[in-house]
Chains A and B, each alone.
Chain A
Amino acid sequence: MALVSGAGGPGIGKRTYAFLRSIPTWALWLLVVLWTIPTLGLLVNSFRTRDAQRSSGWWHSPFENYAENLTLANYTDILTAGAQGGLWRALLNSLAIALPATVIPIAFAAFAAYAFAWIDFKGREWLFIATVSLLAIPAQMSLIPLLQLYSGGGHLTLPFIEKTLTLFPDLDLTGRAISVWLTHTGFALPFAIFLLHNYISGLPKDIFESAFIDGADHFKIFWRLVVPLSVPVLAAFAIFQFLWTYNDYLIAVTMLGGAGHNFPATARIAALAGEFGQAEHLLTAGAFLSTLLPIIVFFALQRFFVTGILAGSVKG
């Protein structure tokens, strides 16, 4: 789409006109450069010594004495140093949170999406709309009660007799990764159901009918037909959810609270950013390491990720 009309009036001149036609491309690449600079600067600075970082901007790096100013020490320091076992441990914690928090909701959401799409039952439509409309509820609305549930169990105080009935025992889950999994699972389900339902309900009806005629029940159809056919959308959701949970900070820092040794990378970096001063040169390496895996996943599997985002938004 160009900014000037197609004809190219005689008054402007051919060369000017060609120049005008190229403006969108120039503008696009200018924006791309602007968008990339912040990340690039962080990457370059993360390989520079503390003194170099403090005495000149990262763009000086190509013109400096490499041997003197470039180092891997920031990375080795941040990975191993620190009271809580270094960033290495935090990165593992991130994985330990993100992988289960990705796998668990997929299974549940696939079941539910299949039921909403292909099993006929009373109240299906409104139940689906009610479920998916929960998408917009802010996580903040659940944080306090969930933390209380994980730290003290779930109790129902019965009216009139002032007895407390325990519905969910106190398992002392706060500070442990499982509390973060459970929370992420619950929060992810409305979106996951919505996304998978869009796809699964669009599968051709014939295959279900012929499978029914062949005597398959819902259980078999789900495993033999729906799951294999839904691999693209399952992958799309998995990538979306992995990036989301790996990058999450709010839920991790709330549920893990004081258990710093269980903090994921985001929470550790945030804590590090809070301590001003000495460690600032390490922050560059830390921030880059913590975004490394998501960026790799993103570039390697971008197609699925885009599919997920599009299915979640455009079709809505």
Chain B
Amino acid sequence: MVGILNTVINLLTAAGIGAGAAFLIYRGGRRSVTRRAVAALSGVVLGAASLWGVIAVEKLETTARGVVVSIAASALIFIAANKLFDLTPDRWSVFTTLMGGGGAFLVYAMLWGNRAIDDPVLRTAAATLIGAAAGYLLGTVDGKRARLAIGTGAGAALGALAASGMRRVILIFEREEGPLELWPVLPNLDYGVLIGLTLAGAALGLLSRLVRRRRTALVRPVILWASVGFFIGAWCLPTLGTGTKAEALAAAIVTGAGFGAVLGLKPIPDAQHRGRIEVASRAYIFLLPALGFIAATLIVPTLRTLFLSFHDTHGREFVGGINYRDIFTSSNIFDAAGWPGIFTSRLFIAGAALVLIGLLAAVLAGRRSGYLMSLSPGTAGAAGLGVFLVATAAFAALRGTVFNNLWWVFTVTIIATAAGLAIAVLADRAKWESLAKSLIFMPMAISFVGAGVIWRFMYLARDVSKPQTGVLNTLWVGIGNLSLSRGPGFFLTVIVILAAAALLVRLAVRAWRADERTVGVGAAVCALPLIWFAFALWRGIGGFEVRDNGDVVASTIQFVQRSPFNNVWLMLVLIWIQTGFTMVIFSAAIKAVPADLLEAAEVDGASESQTFWRVVIPQIAPTIGVVVTTLIVLVMKVFDIVKVMTNGNFDTQVIANEMWQRAFTELNFGLGSALAVVLFAAVLPILYLNIRRMQKAAA
């Protein structure tokens, strides 16, 4: 029997995969005979392949079975719920019967699951029948008194049925897996508290009606809230397990009767009301699976993590803010002691100089046009680059997990955004545009782990006595050898570089004279690094070092190990991946800029760079905002790359990896939760921005 079932499920799975693929391919574009043939063929091939896979490989078989069963179960529940509420307009009594039976079953299943009652099977079955009968009667009988009697009676009966199954002694069932303990639930009633809470509940019910200014139907809310108060007083406050059976009976019967009376007091809804119930129920049937999952995996765990972060290692004792204090006093996590080093680093000096040059040029340009300063792309770019270098200098001096994380966010976000925008612009309307974009986009398909391994081979540094096999160190050592050799290759290289620089300078001068200022400045700026490189080659640059005794030996860059800039090399991996993402989005945004805007700019005589900065950039500004916020959230959580490449060693720790190590290798759930909360707090502003944006979009 099981064998047949498995075969059926396997066949169904294979057919489903094949049909799904065929359908996707068929729907994917213009329908033609070829497309149909391709769809049918690939459906058959995929179906056969999956049938083979499912049968031949036990792992896939169990998985497929799990998926098919869970999908079937969810579909059944979903369809059943829909069918159930289909009954509301025309067959109200059937609906109430099913609801009554189902409700009673659920309550008893809960008691059963928590081992609170004897003979659970029998009692649950009986309760389901009672509930169904009461539901049927409430769905058909019209008389006010009769309905009240039915509701109260059924509720009391259900309560009595449960209470009579509760034992004072702890029953232990012997099972194979170990003893099963029966919950002692008999409540030890405190009558003062009980009456007080019931009255308080009644008052609350009265108040709720008065506040809403609806003075009709006062009885129902009063009984409802009084019952809630009684329930809390009887079952939630007293010591359970020390009372008597009589107390349990009283507590259960009154509770059941109270809630039953509330149902009984409700008249049978008229047709219009039933229609409203039907529509409202649809929303919840469609929403509940998703919202339930979200609550169970996101909302409740988030609250619990908050709770755990204020508790000790195992979440037992409240320790206040000690975990947070530990985070911000640990020198591994938060170390700002190196700050004086910021101002002496070469990066800082170069960055500050660039900022000054940019601002100075802007002021000079502004004097010509009569403003305080006039920022052009060039001057703004220089100043921006300067700020970037200054920030990098600061991050290199401030150590610890938190600063590392901020450094990641800063660098990856800025470079991936800028590079993606630049590539999108370069690729726009270029030949073979889609191929170029595909190749740059491809790393998005590679896992962070895979990317980490790929780049490990790029950064490989082998013993200097052997040939290098990593691309970057090979280049570095190669440049060093070239620079040292002073042979014909060396001179040829220097001459070629200088010649290229001379051509650029000539171009710069000619362009400047021809009033093509942008080209002139650009050529001059490009010539500078060439001249610098020729000079550096002359002085000696690259992978070698001179020993004290005058010997020259090769040397490599330990990209992954040498702090603090190993962080930057790790960031490069993420930039490599994410640039494809930003490029694709910017590319679409640029193509979506209205053509008449561009035409208008052209008619007005704007140059292409002016069009880009003054028309395209403002048009895609919202997209830039979206990309930046998405990247910030993503980079803030960076984990896999660091875990695979350094595991947080060599001063490269980030918050997510620190959290993982504290929580899952040291099993310190308190500190781990606190670190998660820090991460959460860091993305909260983004969360707020996203909500604001969506509210605007909705409005």
A304 to B585 alpha-carbon distance, docked (Å): 14
- Given A132-B694, A218-B282, the answer on whether A112 and B291 have CB atoms closer than 8 Å is yes
Q: Is the CB of A24 within 8 A of B690?
A: no
With contacts A128-B698, A131-B290 known, what are 16 further pairs, Cβ within 8 A?
A11-B511, A11-B514, A11-B516, A25-B431, A28-B436, A96-B59, A134-B299, A138-B637, A138-B679, A140-B675, A143-B664, A144-B673, A247-B445, A249-B447, A273-B449, A316-B693
Min CB–CB distance B318 → chain A (angstroms): 14
Q: Is the CB of B287 within 8 A of A37?
A: no
Q: Is the CB of A144 within 8 A of B71?
A: no
A114 to B630 alpha-carbon distance, docked (Å): 25
- Given A121-B283, A291-B445, A302-B438, the answer on whether A310 and B585 have CB atoms closer than 8 Å is yes
CB < 8 Å: which of B59, B302, B455 contacts A92? B59
Q: In this assembly, does B280 line the interface, its C-beta being within 8 Å of a C-beta of chain A? A: yes
Q: Is the CB of B457 within 8 A of A6?
A: no
Q: Is the CB of A143 within 8 A of B458?
A: no
Task: Specify which chain B residues have a CB less than 8 angstroms from the CB of A207 in the assembled complex.
Answer: none
A-B pair count, CB < 8 Å, reads 402
- Which residue of chain A has the shortest Cβ distance to B283 in the bound complex? A121
Q: Is the CB of A11 within 8 A of B513?
A: yes
Q: Is the CB of B672 within 8 A of A104?
A: no
- Given A92-B59, A160-B236, the answer on whether A284 and B298 have CB atoms closer than 8 Å is no
- Given A133-B694, A138-B680, A270-B643, the answer on whether A57 and B608 have CB atoms closer than 8 Å is no
Min CB–CB distance A63 → chain B (angstroms): 14
- Given A186-B298, A298-B445, the answer on whether A314 and B585 have CB atoms closer than 8 Å is yes
Task: Specify which chain A residues have a CB less than 8 angstroms from the CB of B511 in the assembled complex.
Answer: 9, 11-12
21 residue pairs bridging A and B, Cβ less than 8 Å apart: A1-B428, A1-B608, A1-B612, A13-B510, A28-B426, A32-B436, A112-B289, A112-B290, A114-B286, A133-B691, A138-B679, A140-B637, A144-B672, A185-B297, A231-B23, A250-B640, A266-B447, A290-B449, A294-B445, A309-B584, A310-B588
Min CB–CB distance A80 → chain B (angstroms): 15
CB < 8 Å: which of B67, B519, B697 contacts A99? B67
A41 to B306 alpha-carbon distance, docked (Å): 45
Q: In this assembly, does A161 line the interface, its C-beta being within 8 Å of a C-beta of chain B? A: yes
Per-residue contact bits, chain A 260-289, to B (CB 8 Å; 1 contact, 0 not): 000000110110011000000001101100
A196 to B470 alpha-carbon distance, docked (Å): 44
Chain A's interface: helix, strand, loop or mixed, by majority?
A: helix
A277 to B238 alpha-carbon distance, docked (Å): 64
CB < 8 Å: which of B301, B447, B507, B581 contacts A247? B447
Q: Is the CB of B297 within 8 A of A141?
A: no
Q: Is the CB of B450 within 8 A of A269?
A: yes
Task: List CB contacts (< 8 Å) of A53-76 with chain B.
Answer: 53-59
Q: Is the CB of B445 within 8 A of A163?
A: no
Task: List CB contacts (< 8 Å) of B588-614 with chain A.
Answer: 588-589, 592, 607-609, 611-612
Q: Is the CB of A129 within 8 A of B447?
A: no
Q: In this assembly, does B619 line the interface, its C-beta being within 8 Å of a C-beta of chain A? A: no
Min CB–CB distance A152 → chain B (angstroms): 11
Q: Is the CB of B63 within 8 A of A100?
A: yes
Q: In this assembly, does A2 line the interface, its C-beta being within 8 Å of a C-beta of chain B? A: yes
- Which residue of chain A has the shortest Cβ distance to B235 in the bound complex? A161
Q: In this assembly, does B443 line the interface, its C-beta being within 8 Å of a C-beta of chain A? A: yes
Per-residue contact bits, chain A 187-219, to B (CB 8 Å; 1 contact, 0 not): 101100100000000000000000000000111
Min CB–CB distance A280 → chain B (angstroms): 9
- Which residue of chain A has the shortest Cβ distance to B292 in the bound complex? A108
Q: In this assembly, does B257 line the interface, its C-beta being within 8 Å of a C-beta of chain A? A: no
CB < 8 Å: which of A25, A254, A270 contacts B430? A25
Task: Specify which chain A residues have a CB less than 8 angstroms from the CB of B290 in the assembled complex.
Answer: 108-109, 111-112, 131, 189, 193
Q: In this assembly, does A173 line the interface, its C-beta being within 8 Å of a C-beta of chain B? A: no
